[in-house]
């Protein structure tokens, strides 16, 4: 793993894109870090700390240029249950350290190559689902109804489910919040038309406008409630700051429950990270490929650091990462700087940060959601064929109505079904030559699953025809399929069929396991 070299990324050309993008990611990450910490039953400071570490530490070590790490909504249930089960936050921190160590080991043994096997349609569906979730979940915040925590992705919410929360929000609209979110959307949509001001990030203008309107609305019917504003811990002295940090309780190292939770976090966080990494590569305008194994090592070091200082478990997060892409981020400096902004906000201007309305930040996420779930994406997947469209749609529905990992798992099952279905239908290539000969060219791998399709084709060949069965491209043909082919050759004369076999051996041996592992590892090195 190569060391991070600032000189490779800090250039005026890159900073023109990364600086404004880092501000956007900071504004998006800030309420998410706080909301996830709140939902996890952890101190608010732990959420901010995790975002800082995810930005500065993980991004520096990661090979991904656009991925942003931080506390993940998908881990809130695990974290809340773990803290309750273990009885103390310090004991839970030990589980995070263990999870980090396990992730480093997973990266070193090349476990990240599993990312190569996520079907494209499932990743596209996950992205669109995240976009839809952002729109559905941020709408209540945009109209001033903040019952559910900022950053929630689960279909089940405080008021029952996502749709009932929207219904409740429509009955409890705060018009001050609506004005702020509506103006925020207008600014972001039309800001690019002002060419002389284009260099100033639109979300920054949105936040300034939101703070100003929030002040103007005070003492009026449009006034915002404290719950409708960002709320980060206010640090007044160095001793107060140091008092916010926590250390893991290493005396619990032999506690079986700590290890079970550590393993659970390592597995879930690694899967979410790999899914997010694949998704970010999909929307990267430069189509760069992120090294998955290196990412697992970076995440492991990040989680070890977070556990040692009093943070939460982290993953690469698609919401923040997609906001980074949509804001024009170009290199990892955007993610690193966003971590720096979180730190400076906590230390220098917590009072100003606490004046930011959640409704203007919700507007930023609403626009991000729209860009992830554009109608054009649905049209593209429809034209790609039903073997792409059906897994895509099912993944969307499953993610929206369950959660990220469950939804993707369901989408994977459907995607794999179509992959197997296509493979079963394509064990060979059938062509009638100009001279009337029927040319059957066998695929590279012909397994017993292809037995029925080949049997059907050979049985239904026209009488008195010349058939060429070509195994030149085949590295392996299952013995059951070979038996069918040889039996057909011996019996074909009864139908007047002349069979010619080219490069079809009597026996094919599977390559030694050692060779198969070596080839797989060599192939994965290209990506990792």
| Pairing relationship of beta strands 314-316 and 160-161 according to DSSP bridges | unpaired
Specify whether 373 is located in the same domain as 488. Answer: no
Residues 152 and 162 in one domain: yes
Strands 476-477 and 314-316: unpaired
Out of 10-19, 283-292, 297-306, 395-404, least confident range: 10-19
Name residue 157's beta-bridge partners: 160
Residues 362, 455 share a domain: no
| Residues 6 or more apart in contact with residue 328 via CB below 8 angstroms | 17, 20, 21
- Average pLDDT estimate for 123-130: 93
Closest CA to 106 of 322, 269, 215, 289: 269
Instruction: Check whether residue 298 and residue 308 sit in a common domain.
Output: yes
Residue 511 has pLDDT above 70, yes or no: no
Asked if 311 and 42 touch (Cβ cutoff 8 Å), the reply is no
My answer on whether 457 and 411 are in the same domain is: no
Do the domain assignments include residue 522? no
Question: Does some domain include residue 514?
Answer: no
DSSP 439: E
Q: Does 175 lie in the same domain as 298?
A: yes
Domain CATH for 475: 3.30.750.24
Nearest Cα residue to 314 out of 302, 330, 297, 331: 302
Confirm whether 53 is domain-assigned.
Answer: yes
- DSSP assignments along 102-124, one per residue: HHHHHHHTTGGGGGGGS-HHHHH
In a domain, 524, yes or no: no
**Which residues make Cβ contacts (< 8 Å) with residue 194, sequence separation at least 6?**
none
State the residue range of the domain holding 406: 381-424
Name the band, by pLDDT with cuts 50, 70 and 90, for residue 317.
very high
* Percent of all residues in the chain with a pLDDT value above 90, rounded to a whole number: 59
Top pLDDT among 400 and 11 is at: 400
Query: Treating both helix axes as pointing N-terminal to C-terminal, what angle do 375-383 and 386-401 enclose, rounded to 10 degrees?
Result: 140
**pLDDT for res 276:** 94
The lowest-confidence range among 126-130, 191-195, 392-396, 514-518 is 514-518
Q: How many residues comprise the chain?
A: 528
Q: Is residue 77 part of a domain?
A: yes
Rounded Cα distance between 116 and 180, Å, is 43
Residues forming a β-bridge with 71: 314
- Look at residue 507 and tell me if it is in a domain: no
Quick check: is 360 in a domain?
A: yes
Together in a domain, 313 and 411:
no
Domain boundary among 380, 413, 438: 380
How far apart (Å, rounded) are the C-alpha atoms in residues 403 and 73? 10
Nearest to 300 by CA among 322, 267, 275: 267
Q: Share the mean pLDDT of the chain.
A: 88
pLDDT at 3 over 80: no
Ramachandran angles phi, psi of 466, nearest 5°: -100, 125
Say what the pLDDT of residue 277 is. 94
> In this predicted model, what pLDDT tens digit does every residue of 36-45 receive, in sequence order?
998 899 999 9
H or E segment to which residue 88 belongs: none
For the four alpha carbons of 512, 518, 523 and 528, in that order, the dihedral sign comes to: positive
Tell whether 457 is covered by a domain.
yes
DSSP 8-state code for residue 229: B
Look at the chain and report how many structural domains it folds into. Answer: 3
Residues forming a β-bridge with 307:
none
The answer to whether residues 95 and 152 belong to one domain is: yes
- Do 101 and 196 have their domain in common? yes
Nearest-angstrom CA–CA distance, 427 and 88:
57
Answer yes or no: are the C-beta atoms of 207 and 27 closer than 8 Å. Answer: yes
pLDDT at 514: 46
Confidence check: pLDDT of 59 > 80: yes
- 420 plus 375 within the same structural domain: no
Q: Give the range with max mean pLDDT: 115-119, 159-163, 295-299, 466-470.
A: 295-299
Tokens in use for 129?
A: 């689902």
pLDDT tens, position by position, 218-267: 989 999 999 899 998 888 888 888 889 999 999 999 999 999 999 999 99
203/346 same-domain check? yes
Is there a single domain that holds both residue 150 and residue 163? yes
What mean pLDDT comes out for the span 266-286? Answer: 93
**pTM (2 decimals)?**
0.81
């Amino acid at each position: 793993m190569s060391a991070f070299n600032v000189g490779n990324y800090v250039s005026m050309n890159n900073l023109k894109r990364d600086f404004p993008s880092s501000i956007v990611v900071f504004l998006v990450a800030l309420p998410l870090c706080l909301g996830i910490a709140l939902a996890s039953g952890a101190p608010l400071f732990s959420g901010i700390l995790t975002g800082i570490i995810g930005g500065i530490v993980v991004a520096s070590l990661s090979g991904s240029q656009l991925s942003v790490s931080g506390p993940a909504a998908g881990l809130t249930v695990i974290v809340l249950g773990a803290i309750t089960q273990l009885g103390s936050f310090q004991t839970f921190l030990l589980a995070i350290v263990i999870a980090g160590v396990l992730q480093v080991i997973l990266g070193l043994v090349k476990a990240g190559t599993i990312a190569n096997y996520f079907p494209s349609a499932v990743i596209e569906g996950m992205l669109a689902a995240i976009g839809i979730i952002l729109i559905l979940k941020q709408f209540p915040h945009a109209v001033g109804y903040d019952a559910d925590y900022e950053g929630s992705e689960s279909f089940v919410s405080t008021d029952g489910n996502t749709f009932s929360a929207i219904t409740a929000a429509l009955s409890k609209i705060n018009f001050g919040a609506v004005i702020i979110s509506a103006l925020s959307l207008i600014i972001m949509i039309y800001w690019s038309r002002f060419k002389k001001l284009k260099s100033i990030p639109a979300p920054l203008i949105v936040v300034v406008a939101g703070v100003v309107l929030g002040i103007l609305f005070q003492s009026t019917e449009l006034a915002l409630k404290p719950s409708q504003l960002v709320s980060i811990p206010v640090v007044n002295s160095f001793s107060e700051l140091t008092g916010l940090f926590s250390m893991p309780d290493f005396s619990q190292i032999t506690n079986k429950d700590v290890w079970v939770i550590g393993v659970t976090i390592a597995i879930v966080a690694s899967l979410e990270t790999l899914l997010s990494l694949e998704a970010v590569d999909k929307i990267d305008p430069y189509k760069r490929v992120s090294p998955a194994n290196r990412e697992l090592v970076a995440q492991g070091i990040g989680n070890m650091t977070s556990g040692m200082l009093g943070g939460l478990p982290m993953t690469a997060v698609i919401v923040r990462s997609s906001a980074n892409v949509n804001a024009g981020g170009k290199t990892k400096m955007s993610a690193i700087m966003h971590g720096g902004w979180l730190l400076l906000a906590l230390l220098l201007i917590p009072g100003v940060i606490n004046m930011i309305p959640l409704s203007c930040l919700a507007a930023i996420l609403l626009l991000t959601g729209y860009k992830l779930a554009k109608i054009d994406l649905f049209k593209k997947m429809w034209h790609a064929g039903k073997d792409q469209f059906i897994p895509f749609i099912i993944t969307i529905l499953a993610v929206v109505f369950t959660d990220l990992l469950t939804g993707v798992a369901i989408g994977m099952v459907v995607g794999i079904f179509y992959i197997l279905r296509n493979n079963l239908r394509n064990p060979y290539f059938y062509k009638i030559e100009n001279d009337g000969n029927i040319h059957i060219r066998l695929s590279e791998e012909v397994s017993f699953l292809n037995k029925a399709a080949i049997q059907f084709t050979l049985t239904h060949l026209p009488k008195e025809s010349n058939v060429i069965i070509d195994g030149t491209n085949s590295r392996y043909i299952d013995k059951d399929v070979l038996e069918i082919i040889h039996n057909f050759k011996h019996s074909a004369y009864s139908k007047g069929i002349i069979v010619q076999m080219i490069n079809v051996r009597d026996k094919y041996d599977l390559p030694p396991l050692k060779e198969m592992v070596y080839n797989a590892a060599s192939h994965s090195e290209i990506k990792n």
